[in-house]
Amino acid sequence: MRRLVLACALMLPALPAHAQRDGFYDVTGKNLDGTDYTGVAQIRSVGLNSFNIVWRTGSQIVEGVGMASGRTVSVAYGLAQRPGMGIYTLNPDGSLEGEWTIIGAPTIGRERLVPREAGATETPPAATPPPADPDAPATPPR
């Protein structure tokens, strides 16, 4: 009987994982032009597998949405009036690592989000400000 229960439990489909935790994340990454950036992101759940995300790097604030499926997290956002998207993997420690781009970009950026301790408040680390030229490639992605 015990084997039957175990076998049935293994055959059940996995329940959707709440892949990301609500709260603040320290962000480090590499821009499309290869330069490094740092910042802060905030994730807030909107449903079982969907969430809002806001990134702050330097003086730039970017808002987006995302969804989780197992250990895969995807996001969409607008940057410099162009749509962007990212795909992340949830690590066992709760951090997210992934790649992102904006439509028409010839390269991809990389990013890591590390959750802050519960109750931590937003204090963005220093970041390189975005370029002054509005036609320049978007450098901090978020």
Phi, then psi, of 53 in degrees rounded to 5: -140, 140
pLDDT tens-digit readout, 77-124: 997 789 999 999 999 999 999 999 999 999 999 999 999 987 655 554
Does this model's pTM top 0.75? no
Quote the Cα angle for 117-108-88, to 5°: 35
Check residue 14 and give left, alpha or beta (phi > 0: left; psi -120 to 50: alpha): beta
User: Taking a C-beta distance cutoff of 8 angstroms, is the pair 71, 89 a contact?
Assistant: yes
User: Taking a C-beta distance cutoff of 8 angstroms, is the pair 36, 28 a contact?
Assistant: yes
Q: Which domains does the chain have, with CATH numbers?
A: 16-115 (2.40.128.120)
